Amino acid sequence: MSPQLEIIITAIIVSSACALLGVFLILRKMAMMTDAISHTILLGIVVAFLLTKSINSPLLIIGTALMGVLTVYLTEVLKRTKLMAEDSAIGIVFPLLFSIAIILITKYAGNVHLDIDSVLLGELAFVPFDRLIVFGRDIGPKSTYIMLTILLIDGVFVILFFKELKLVTFDAALASVLGFSSVFIHYSLMGLVSVTAVGAFEAVGSILVIAFMIGPPVSAYMLTDKLKNMLMLSIGIGIVNAVIGYQLAALLDVSIAGSIATVIGITFLLIFIFAPKRGMITIGYTRHVRKIGFAVNSLLFHLHNHEGTEKEKVESNRQTLHHHLHWDKKFLDIILKKVINLNYVTQKEEYLKLTQEGRDYTLKAYQDITS
């Protein structure tokens, strides 16, 4: 296999593993937990390294995954005191653990190969250098196999506990009534997030882990309402993004992780703007139509209410009408143009009068509201 292909395959595996878990994270409003975990695993790495004096020990992954779970636990302890909101709790725990990690590194591990930059920024280009040798044969990059194992674990977890995950995610109260332990699901999920982040950090860096865990699932969330579809779509979008991002990075000779993260962001923005049902354009247009429709009704109701009363001259005067409705003058002009075009209202000098058509429409609209 060529190194390029190995890098792409690794990126695809990482993105799939992250997307699987990311879907549940963003649905459970825990997106920023990935940010926290991907930073605090640095402390896990440092502590495990200082204890074992080796950067390749399997203890490193275990210790680091534990640190991820500890982050979740500490956040929850702080939250449970009810002295602060959850986001504040996250924002206090992870910088503290991260700071301790940096202090430990600069103090005790300064001359060892434990580069903070490489942890955070990652370098996919280095993936092919670290080979896995089995029985004297080179079978491929080590991190590819590590990530493949993690992807399998994540996949098995999601398939085995799909029902539980779904229930706990959408209706935690019902889940606990039915006897499912949401705590078990919660900590298993966060444990896997930690393991995945640890496995991925060396290959792709924590920024790309965050991007992979949040970006594709959020993009998929814009497109579908079904959990299964969302999982499939996230994985698909993640893979496409990884491939495009890698190609761009190769073309421009820039950071692969950065390039993929950028492509993920751009993909989301495009989907966010143009998505058929929930895109910004669709939603903006729907809201606009609704606003105009509501304003037309308000104006017609107003005219109808004052029709034939003493105050009609004051209330239905074009120059002062916007005061009565608390509208902007320009907005009134737009709406007036609309109702005159629809032939609901006629204007004589400064006074507005309902046409018979307008009167019928108003009564019908009124009945629609009250019925």
Partner 1 sequence: MSIESLLRDYTLQIVALGSAVLGAISGILGSFAVLRKQSLLGDAVSHSALPGIAFVFLITGIKNTEMLLLGALASGLLGTFLIVIINRYSRIKFDSALGLILSFFFGLGLVLITYIQKLPNANQAGLEDFIFGQASTLLKRDVYIMIVLGCVILLMVVLFWKEFKLYSFDMQYGVSIGFSAKKINIILSSITVIAIIIGLQSVGVILMSALLISPGVAARQWTDKLSVMVILAAVFGIISGVIGTVISSLVSNMPTGPVIVVVISLIVIFSLLFASKRGILWQYIKRRRNSRHINESRLLINLYELALNHEDIYHPHETKMIEPTSTDKTIKNIEKTLLILRQQGYIKQDYFGTWAITDIGIQRAKRIEKYGGDCL
Q: Which of residues 189-218 bind partner 1 (CB under 8 A)?
A: 207-208, 210-211, 213-215, 218
Q: Which of residues 304-333 bind partner 1 (CB under 8 A)?
A: none
Rounded alpha-carbon distances, angstroms, from residue 38 to 12, 42, 74, 319: 19, 8, 15, 61
CA distance 188 to 194: 10
Binding pattern for the stretch 328-367 against partner 1, x by CB under 8 A and - elsewhere: ----------------------------------------
- List residues bridging with 133 in a β-sheet: 138
Smallest gap from residue 107 Cβ to partner 1 (A): 5
50 binds partner 1 (CB under 8 A): no
41 binds partner 1 (CB under 8 A): no
CA distance 336 to 316: 12
Phi, psi of 3 (to 5 degrees): -55, -40
Total residues binding partner 1 (CB under 8 A): 63
Smallest gap from residue 97 Cβ to partner 1 (A): 9
CA distance 28 to 196: 18
CA distance 293 to 283: 15
Q: Which stretch binds partner 1 (CB under 8 A): 85-93, 230-238, 314-322, 347-355?
A: 85-93
Smallest gap from residue 109 Cβ to partner 1 (A): 11
User: Which of 283, 238, 282, 278 shows the shortest CA–CA distance to 261?
Assistant: 238
Structure tokens at 162: 């799909």
Smallest gap from residue 229 Cβ to partner 1 (A): 16
29 binds partner 1 (CB under 8 A): yes
Specify the residue for token string 């549940």. 24
283 binds partner 1 (CB under 8 A): yes
Phi, psi of 54 (to 5 degrees): -140, 145
131 binds partner 1 (CB under 8 A): no
| Number of residues assigned to the chain | 371
Specify the residue for token string 């393991």. 195
Nearer to partner 1, 32 or 340 (CB): 32
Q: Which stretch binds partner 1 (CB under 8 A): 65-73, 101-109, 137-145, 188-196?
A: 101-109
Q: Which of residues 242-271 bind partner 1 (CB under 8 A)?
A: 249, 252-255, 257-262, 264-266, 268-269
Residue 96's contacts (CB-CB under 8 Å, 6 or more residues apart) are: none
45 binds partner 1 (CB under 8 A): no
CA distance 201 to 39: 10
300 binds partner 1 (CB under 8 A): no
CA distance 328 to 151: 57
CA distance 206 to 210: 6
Nearer to partner 1, 35 or 202 (CB): 35
121 binds partner 1 (CB under 8 A): yes
Which residues contact partner 1 (rule: CB under 8 A)?
26, 29-32, 34-35, 39, 78, 81, 83-85, 87-88, 90-92, 95-96, 98-100, 102-103, 106-107, 110, 116-117, 120-121, 207-208, 210-211, 213-215, 218, 221-222, 249, 252-255, 257-262, 264-266, 268-269, 272, 278, 280, 283-284
